[in-house]
Each structure stands twice: as C-alpha cells, then as structure tokens.
Amino acid sequence: MAIAAFGQGGRGGAGRGPAAPANPKAAAPVDLTGYWVSLVTEDWRFRMVTPAKGDYASVPLNAEGRKVADAWDPDKDVAGGNQCKAYGAAALMRVPGRVHIEWQDDNTLKVQTDAGTQTRVFHFGTAQPGGLLTSPAPIPAQPELQGYSVAIWEMAGGGRAGRGGPPGGAPAGPRGGSLKVVTTHLSPGYLRKNGVPYSGNTVLTEYYDRTNETDGASYLIVTTIVEDPQYLGGPQNPTGQFITSTHFKKEPDGSKWNPSPCSAK
C-alpha cells in the first residue's frame, strides 16, 4: 500500500558493489534499538506540565484549530474514553518518558513508550517515483491512534539539512544513515496535552538519527514534521508544517522502565 512521503530526495548509487542486504534489519546503517530516556531541552512548559487552556504558542494553528483548542475539556475526554489523545503518533515522542526500540521481525521495528504505554509499529517499505513509500503490510480498516507507518533507511550523504545535534553542542560521532518514517491513517489527537488538535488528515514525517559521542554517550534525535491541512497553516505558515526536534539519551538497560497509563490532564 502506498502513502505520501514528503521531502524524499533522490539517491545515487550507480555502479556495482556488494550484494544488497537481505532485509531491512540486516541493512540498518545505524542501530536504533535499546532503551532511551527523554532529554527535555526545549518546550519545558509545554511538555513537563499541562499548559493552560488556550496556550498554543509556537503551533501554527489556523482559525479552525484555535477554535477547537479553545474548547478543550479534559473531563469530557475522560468521560468519552479519549484520555490518550495526547499520546497519538503525532505527539507521542514529545511526551517525556522512556522509549524502547526493538526489531519485531526482519522487516518491522517496534517502538514502545512507558508514558501512556503506547506501541508504534514501523513497516519497512520502498521509495517509489513521485515521493511515495510502499509497504506490503496491510493498512488498518479504521484510523488508529498510532496510525499506519512506513519506514525506509536513508544513507549518509543525502544532504538533508536543519537537523539538530545532541544538547550542549557536543560534536556528533560517525553516522551511517537515518530512519525515515511516514505515518498516515491517524485518528484525531492532540499535539499538546491542552487540546491543541491535529486531524485525521494529518501526515506525519519523522527522521531518526543516532549520534555517538567521544565520552561514550549516545543520543537519539527525532525530527518531526506534522502536516495537517485541517488545523494547521495560515498566512504566516502556508505550508501548515509544525516541526520539532526531540532528544533522547541511551540507557544501558530497561531497569528504569516505568509504564504508566494515559492522562488527560
């Protein structure tokens, strides 16, 4: 099945070389597996506490989006069983906590969070002409909180700019490549816990990078691009893109893993 992939550049690769790896797991240019803990180096007041109703600073909401955000009622969400709306794919990696990444099989990465006890599944696919990603994995019949995600490896040297490094200005270590993930078929959710909305029309594009530092620390940087024609955009942001960069630090094991339920407040 095909889903739109944004910003997909062409790649070189002419000439003969070693045989291609048998599957995405074997082809991985970087190891993203393991346990990672959030480093809240930006947007502290939006991430560590629930912002006040109507506080949607830095999110490019249009008039319809602001109207929805201004009507946020967490008690209504709880009563309707929607307390996990701030834990959908478009916002999940911004929720402070721990992330566990592992291979579900040779063609599928599984990403779990202890905050909200959520699971995302990345189906590896292939890039097609016109900027599409395709995967043989079936698309769910109905939209879901974590949507339907297709992933590809992007090898180093692609020239994509604007990606954040580890906090504190530490020099980045060698990087073999990145993971690109495009997610669609999302159920409506919140970009922030105070009801800042995204719609079921949202397309989420993410890039996962790992850096290894000279002091032995490893960081995971997740660059997130949310595009929502229903609630985002306007004269000052005609593309309707909401872009964030989220940092994690590698932990040696899962001893600090602490699953917790979703919270609407």
Judge contact between 170 and 201, C-beta under 8 A.
no
Handedness of CA 43, 8, 239, 72 (dihedral sign): negative
Judge contact between 248 and 222, C-beta under 8 A.
yes
- 258: in domain: no
pLDDT at 163: 52
Q: What is the mean pLDDT of the chain?
A: 88
SS3 13: coil
- 44: in domain: yes
Lowest mean pLDDT among 79-88, 112-121, 159-168, 252-261: 159-168
- 7: in domain: no
Amino acid, single-letter form, for residue 114: D
Q: Is a pLDDT exceeding 60 seen at residue 166? A: no
- 221: in domain: yes
Q: What is the pLDDT of residues 107-118, one digit of tens each?
A: 999 999 999 999
- 191: in domain: yes
Is the overall model pTM greater than 0.75, yes or no? yes
- 29: in domain: yes
Structure tokens that stand for 225 in this block: 């691009």
pLDDT at 156: 83
Amino acid, single-letter form, for residue 240: G
Measured in whole angstroms, the distance separating CA 159 from the mean position of its chain's CA atoms is 20
Q: What is the 3-state secondary structure (H, E, C) of 25-82?
A: HHHCCCCCCEEEEEECCCCHHHHCCCCCCCCCCCCCECHHHHHHHHCCCHHHHHHCCC
Task: Quote the domain boundaries for residue 48.
Answer: 24-157+168-251
Structure tokens that stand for 192 in this block: 């922030």
Write down how long the chain is.
265
The DSSP call for residue 168 is: G
pLDDT at 126: 84
Q: How many domains does the chain have?
A: 1
- 1: in domain: no
The DSSP call for residue 200 is: T
Structure tokens that stand for 252 in this block: 């040696």
- 80: in domain: yes
